[in-house]
Structure 1
Amino acid sequence: MRTIVSIIIPCYNSEQWIAEAIGSCLHQTYSPLEIIIIDDGSTDDSLQIVRQYAAQYPASIFYETGPNRGGCAARNRGLALATGDYVLFLDADDLLEPETIAGQVAAADGRKNVVVASPWRFLQWTGKSWLEIAAPAGHIGDPLVAELRHGDYIPVQALLWPRDLVIALGGWDESLWANQDGDLRLRARLAGCEFVTSAQGGFIYRRYSSNTVSGKQTYRALESKIRVFEKVEEQLRQSDRLEQYKVDLACAFHRLATAAMTQNEELGDRALAHALRLGGRRSVHGTFKHRLLYYTIGLKRKERVVRWLTTTPVARMLGRSQLSVFRDK
């Protein structure tokens, strides 16, 4: 018998997209698949659309609904219901190309400590039409270094996971408000999981708005992002690898401190303290002007200057491209 793959879709108020997401799963060339949809207390017509598909494909689609508890809780519930040897977590507004699962299963080759990444790209809404944007190029070398030092990432929706591996990792951290996928991916890397790639199919990451929970730089989101790296530090310490990766982790904290300082100086200071403790001046990276201002007036004052510039006529005169040289990358 062929390996069963479970596709888990958390759904909250996604009536505009859920049918396309389900359709992209049904059109996979690989079988057998089970599509598990967890409706997270939707108040629009999402649940009605899911019910219609489940009635039409009762052997393939299973769904459950309940109160709104967040995407991580929905994914964990789907994981508990899954019977497949492998799982893929697809968001309700994203898409899979037909050959994606087939390519990933072939690359996994039955191994239980291997996570398989498919090709992926963005589909960005410009306000008038959809524009395809290639995925950012990754850095060569140790992938943990690339993720911490440079912010490289693979969307979790592009990854096929052995189900038992996700369970062994503890599933999704339901206390996090942002970067939950980065947390799971980093835990897997730190646990020694091998990440391999498939050249078939692809995941399409739809970006129709920046107004998402994970995209908003709210206090809860920023604090969660800091906690993800604090968890990484603790895991590195427990495995006696902190000395090896401490500067890379410091760069991650510094990058986050720069982003947080304009929104919440308390959290910016918290992330910066981690960066300086772990890496000192070696944690500072980015454009020459960013580093020059950092060394001259400090990150907090530097970000206040940049924030002031972006809210004055100077911003309109210089334009975003000119102001970007003051950022960390």
Structure 2
Amino acid sequence: MHNPLVSILIPVYNKASYVAEAIYSCLHQTYPHIEIIIVDDGSTDGSWDIVKNYADRYPDRMKVFRQDNKGACAARNKAFELSSGQYIQYLDADDILAPDKIKHQIKYFEGSGEEDYVVNGRWGRFKTHIHEQIDWGPHPSICKDLAPVEWIIAGHMSQTSCWLTPRYLIEKTGNWDEQLQVNQDGEFFTRVVLNSSRVLFCDQARIYYRSYLQDHSISKRYRKVEAMHSYLQTIFSLEKHLLAREDSPRTRKYLSSRYMQFVYMYYPQAREEVQIALNKVHQFGKPDVTVQGGKALQLIDRLLGWRIALTLRFLLRYRAYALR
């Protein structure tokens, strides 16, 4: 199919300061065959007014929908339901697509939307504006074409908006998990990748990923009890889908390492969940990770073991590591 339609799906919740930039980056894509689907997830800061204003100005290019607050995953699922494109571009409401992002990636496809592979690209982190000096991700180990399992066990993140995905693959993968509070995109795209035949990399396709100050940091979000439970659920999901694709020494070692990272993050709290993760480590074999921290922490780990090292870290930095 020539000139296939690409649906850009944007969940919005209280992003009045940024959503106009995101929409602008979509409207000014050099690939013209797009539709923009925006689901407002119960915003209270004026985001809906901005979104509706754009939709009134570009009725042939935008569809908008408003719902009660259900979370970003529910908003993405609704946006996909409303979309028509053969290819899907997810975009968070505070991030920005480079003007030629879709043009570069769409060339990798035949146009049917029924391909069984996915195309990744580059992301750059910024705080205020995209003209800052930017270090471009992802990690070099995934900046190339890879088989799905190789991509997963490389162990490095991509970003939600980097992907361009055939509709067929998303239908095969299923919905975003609306119960998760953290790592929703990692869990979803792990399933997408493992349902694909290969992961292609487009070096020219770029997106700008907005980075916040410390009070919005990932580490603080992961200190909530509900987030801890969600994080463990994402590793369970990884285990299920990775072993279904390949049950081998290398996938088992990778899973052991992921469970051990969970232990390092939450010990000496969450004793029940930590024990579940340790049981998985024993099931899958020796992990390939060590305690992350300064030289003193790593020395204590080597001399006295990770349990004592992490207990001391918790006692000395209780406010930073306590679950809430």
Give the alignment of 1:232-247 within 5 angstroms. Answer: 232-239=238-245, 241-247=247-253
Equivalent pairs, count:
308
User: CA, structure 1 residues 136+271, in 2 after alignment: closer, same or farther (shift >3 Å)?
Assistant: same
Q: 2:167 aligns with which of 160, 163, 169?
A: 163
What residue in structure 2 maps to residue 108 of structure 1? Answer: 109
Give the stretch that moved more between structures: 67-76 or 292-301: 292-301
Q: Secondary structure at the match of 2:88?
A: strand
Q: Secondary structure at the match of 1:64?
A: strand
* Aligned-residue identity in percent: 31
User: CA, structure 1 residues 261+54, in 2 after alignment: closer, same or farther (shift >3 Å)?
Assistant: same
Aligned-pair CA distance for 1:224: 1.4
Give the alignment of 1:55-94 within 5 angstroms. Answer: 55-94=56-95
Q: Secondary structure at the match of 1:107?
A: coil
Contact 2:14/2:43 (8 A) holds in 1: yes
Quick check: 1:223 aligned with 2:229?
A: yes
What residue in structure 2 maps to residue 327 of structure 1? Answer: none
Contact 2:239/2:255 (8 A) holds in 1: yes
- CA deviation digits over 1:255-278, x for unaligned, max 9? 222122266444333323322321
What residue in structure 1 maps to residue 278 of structure 2? Answer: 272
CA–CA distance in structure 1, aligned partners of residues 202 and 265 of structure 2: 33
Give the alignment of 1:250-289 within 5 angstroms. Answer: 250-261=256-267, 264-280=270-286, 282-285=287-290
Unaligned runs of 5+ in 2: 320-324
The one-letter code matched in structure 2 to 1:303 is L
Give the stretch that moved more between structures: 196-205 or 53-62: 196-205
Give the stretch that moved more between structures: 156-165 or 116-125: 116-125
What residue in structure 2 maps to residue 323 of structure 1? Answer: none
Give the stretch that moved more between structures: 95-104 or 114-123: 114-123
What residue in structure 2 maps to residue 303 of structure 1? Answer: 310
Q: When the two structures are superposed, what TM-score results if normalisation uses the length of structure 1?
A: 0.84
Give the stretch that moved more between structures: 18-27 or 270-279: 270-279
What residue in structure 2 maps to residue 54 of structure 1? Answer: 55
The one-letter code matched in structure 2 to 1:124 is K
The one-letter code matched in structure 2 to 1:17 is Y
Contact 2:4/2:85 (8 A) holds in 1: yes
CA–CA distance in structure 2, aligned partners of residues 91 and 263 of structure 1: 33
The one-letter code matched in structure 1 to 2:198 is E
Q: Secondary structure at the match of 1:177?
A: coil
Aligned-pair CA distance for 1:171: 2.0
Aligned-pair CA distance for 1:134: 2.8
Contact 1:265/1:300 (8 A) holds in 2: no
The one-letter code matched in structure 2 to 1:274 is K
What residue in structure 1 maps to residue 141 of structure 2? Answer: 139
Quick check: 1:178 aligned with 2:182?
A: yes
- CA deviation digits over 1:97-140, x for unaligned, max 9? 100000010123436112111221111359xx965333252337
Aligned-pair CA distance for 1:294: 4.2
Aligned-pair CA distance for 1:46: 0.1
Contact 2:123/2:206 (8 A) holds in 1: yes
Contact 1:87/1:163 (8 A) holds in 2: yes
CA–CA distance in structure 2, aligned partners of residues 157 and 99 of structure 1: 13
Contact 2:149/2:246 (8 A) holds in 1: no
The one-letter code matched in structure 1 to 2:314 is R
- CA deviation digits over 1:139-166, x for unaligned, max 9? 3776645644x63011121101111211
What residue in structure 2 maps to residue 188 of structure 1? Answer: 192
CA–CA distance in structure 2, aligned partners of residues 106 and 163 of structure 1: 16
- CA deviation digits over 1:48-103, x for unaligned, max 9? 00011001111111100010000000000000111000011100000001000000
